[in-house]
A and B are shown apart, each in its own frame.
Chain A
């Protein structure tokens, strides 16, 4: 079974600074997706960024980028130029690719606070 571990329950960062959230996972699969979801106080889970395991290039979405280290099974999220609106819970998630009954597996989350 796959597991996802987020070792930082809470983090804080000054506005405009950069912060990195950690995520490691355990799987024997070779083909899979990794995700970072953001959950603001509204509770709605919002997809921040997605990485296909077969792609070596790290995914980037505006101020959000990942450092995907497949051999180390590590998938960290970097938020540059942090904004107050980035304050939220961030969840790392894993999904097998093309193999049937494979729900998203989530970590326990990191609560990020952006401080003015």
Chain B
């Protein structure tokens, strides 16, 4: 596609519910990254994918967070049993190759947990 897209744009959920956030990277980009932006904070790196593989999950905040990528394209970030502290903007980025110096960001999903 022309750019990185993310859906939904906004999500309001109740505490304890599960949510799925979707990222469509730029076509042909092998690397995909997830970041979290909490209010008043910079971006916190969560996880990266090289193809469908995520070698390092240590950046995920808790075991309620998981991510997958299928077909080397679309990625889904899942948060189980959401908590109020999960409220944030979740940004996805992609690059042609892993750790290439230019990452292209999507518009993010704003998650609000009530």
Q: CB within 8 Å of B: which residues of A? A: 4, 6, 33, 37, 42-47, 50, 91, 93, 95, 97-98, 100-109
Contacts and interface: CB of A to CB of B under 8 A. Distances in A.
Contact of A100 (B40, B99, B107): B99
B97 to A, nearest CB: 12
B42 A107 contact: yes
Contacts of B49: none
Interface of B: 33, 35, 40-45, 48, 55-56, 59, 89, 91, 93, 99, 101-103, 105-108, 110
A91 B42 contact: yes
Contact of B99 (A37, A42, A95, A107): A95
B108 A103 contact: no
Residue among B33, B43, B44, B106 with max Cβ neighbours from chain A (10 Å): B43
Contacts of A98: 99
Contacts of A108: 40-42
Contacts of A104: 33, 35, 43, 45, 103
Contacts of A46: 105
Contacts of A102: 99
Given A44-B108, A95-B101, A103 B59 contact: yes
